[in-house]
Amino acid sequence: MTTLTLQPRPESPADPSVDHVIRAIVAGDSTAETCNTDLAEGPWNFDIRPGYGPGSSMGDVIPTGSPRQGELPQEYRDATDEELDARIIAAKATLGDRVVVLGHFYQREEVIRHADYVGDSFQLANAALEHPDAEAIVFCGVHFMAETADLLSQPRQAVILPNLAAGCSMADMADIDQVEECWEQLEDVYGDMDAVDGDGLVPVIPVTYMNSSAAIKGFVGRHGGIVCTSSNAQTVLEWAFERGRRVLFFPDQHLGRNTAKAMGVPLEQMPMWNPRKPLGGASVTEIEDARVILWHGFCSVHRRFTVEQIETARIEHLGVRVIVHPECPMAVVDAADEAGSTDYIRRAIEAATEPTTFAIGTEVNLVQRLAAANPQHEIFCLDPVVCPCSTMYRIHPGYLAWVLESLVAGAVVNRITVPADVADPARLALERMLAAKPPAAPASGWTNAS
Ligand code: 13P
Ligand code: SF4
């Protein structure tokens, strides 16, 4: 039997800054709890160390050879918050239309306030596409997002990631060599991967979540597959099932399982592929009968959400509306009232006409910002421990000031470039996604019957 513990929630809500909450905790001015007090330090203290840094992914194993950030010049490490703000504003004013700053929903407030566009990974990929005249696109997000912006932008445009250590631990869980090896093993079971059966279907279509390296997107493009985001995963799976008997889905097992389950695919036809085991740890029969093969990847931010937290929220807040991101485990999605992408969550809150209590299962920076922007509602993060995405957190205003002032001085630092042999098939997989999504279709989410 599960024991429920009622825990204090972080004080907020009018202040959208998670950093302020963490600093208050470290200073002893708040009764809230954080997963790591090192979060109050500048991320440059972690740049030279291997690992994802403090925050939700700190226990994940980082691949050797992951990009590291060189030393941030001292002047940016020493600058006060106010100085950095003023320098960023001045550099942006000097650069004008030459630069576009994109900010993912999970970025810290101190960075978001300087972004020209704020959105989810799909919206920001489109924002990059729609600014062909800017010389530089500064992507305040994580590595795979900057790669995607490079794929969709013009060759003359430079895409800049302010801190090269801002990767994504989930994206890193699908390594291109492991994926190639998986494909070869599947070929041994299914035979010719290009052969169509009596229904006109090939044995398997690879589908990758946007949260994957360009190399994986390139693999998918070369093998007739497609990219999806959390806002169009169902549309993309429908596209794949029109062309293939099965889907190989990576890297996020939870998005794959939650989406396919909502479409009626039975759980027993969704074996997991663990790249460290022969045939992914499944039997030949399981692989033959599979409808969706799920790569053994997960997000350490969304894995923190639990059914117990939802039960606690329902006890403490009668009538609470629980919305979680589909990267959460299946039991959490099932226990919630609704599940949907970051933009779905934002729109659901903004569409509520009556004052409502929302418990949200996604990254805390977005939740706290939504709480501050919607004072008519009570909005809190399901996880009572303040534990932001470790890698999104690596972007600090000090790095943003550095890359912008470098541009003013004529230097492009931290450029992200996808090599042409990977870029062409990766772009194909992205273009299939853009074509598969009807332009006027709303971002998808699903509601659990009560
Ligand atoms: P979105 O696709 O909603 O932007 O989410 C990206 C992400 O990293 C979620 O963990
Ligand atoms: Fe990656 Fe999870 Fe962070 Fe998103 S929230 S960037 S999936 S680690």
Read off the tokens for 293: 């093969």
Segment 407-434 shows an average pLDDT of 96
Cβ(252) to ligand 1 under 6 A?
Answer: no
Please tell me the predicted confidence (pLDDT) of residue 449: 45
Q: What is the pLDDT of residues 38-95, one digit of tens each?
A: 999 999 999 988 899 999 999 999 999 899 999 999 999 999 999 999 999 999 999 9
Question: What is the percentage of the chain residues whose pLDDT exceeds 70?
Answer: 94
Report which bound ligand comes closest to the CA of 170.
Answer: 2
Q: Is the CB of 363 under 6 A from ligand 2?
A: yes
Nearest protein CA to atom 4 of ligand 1, as residue: 120
Ligand 1 centre to CA of 196 (Å) is 34
Classify residue 422 as left (phi > 0), alpha (psi -120 to 50) or beta. Answer: alpha
3 state DSSP class of 136: strand
From the alpha carbon of 120, which atom of ligand 1 is closest?
A: 4
Q: Are 332 and 346 in contact (CB under 8 A)?
A: no
- Read off the pLDDT of residues 332-373 as tens digits, 9 standing for 90 and up: 999 999 999 999 999 999 999 999 999 999 999 999 999 999
211 lines ligand 2 (CB under 6 A): yes
Quote the pLDDT of residue 1: 32
- In sign, the C-alpha dihedral spanning 351, 209, 293, 170 is negative
Q: Give pairs for 28-33: CB < 8 Å, separation 24+.
A: 32/8, 32/384, 32/386, 33/7, 33/8, 33/384, 33/385, 33/386
- 77-101: string of b/e by CB count within 10 Å (b at 16+)? eebeeeebbebbeebbeebeeebbb
Query: Distance from the CA of 395 to the center of ligand 1, in angstroms?
Result: 16
Handedness of CA 360, 126, 217, 258 (dihedral sign): positive
Pocket test for ligand 1, best of 143, 230, 433 (most atoms within 8 A of CB): 230
Ligand nearest to the CA of 173: 2
- Whether 248 and 204 have beta carbons less than 8 Å apart is answered as yes
Distances in Å between the Cα of 352 and the Cα atoms of 82, 316, 317, 342 are 35, 21, 17, 16
* Helix (H) / strand (E) containing 445: strand 445-447
The alpha carbon of 79 and the centre of ligand 2 are apart by a number of angstroms equal to 28
Element at 125 (helix H, strand E): helix 121-129
Rounded mean pLDDT, 326-332: 98
Q: Mind listing the pLDDT tens digit for each residue in 9-41?
A: 444 458 999 999 999 999 999 999 999 999 999
Span 383-390, mean pLDDT?
Answer: 98
Say if ligand 1 is within 6 A of residue 299 CB.
yes
Model pLDDT for residues 389-413, shown as the tens digit of each residue: 999 999 999 999 999 999 999 999 9
Nearest residue to 416 via CA among 173, 180, 67, 98: 67
Whose alpha carbon is nearest atom 3 of ligand 2? 389
| pLDDT tens-digit series, residues 105-116 | 999 999 999 999
pLDDT, average across residues 281-292 = 98
Radius of gyration of the chain (CA): 22
- Mean pLDDT, rounded, for 280-292: 98
**Per-chain mean pLDDT for the chain:** 94
Starting from the CA of residue 169, give the closest ligand: 2
Tell me the angle at which helices 420-436 and 214-222 cross, rounded to the nearest 10 degrees.
70
pLDDT band at 444 (very low <50, low <70, confident <90, very high): low
Q: Give the number of other CB atoms < 10 A from CB of residue 64.
A: 6
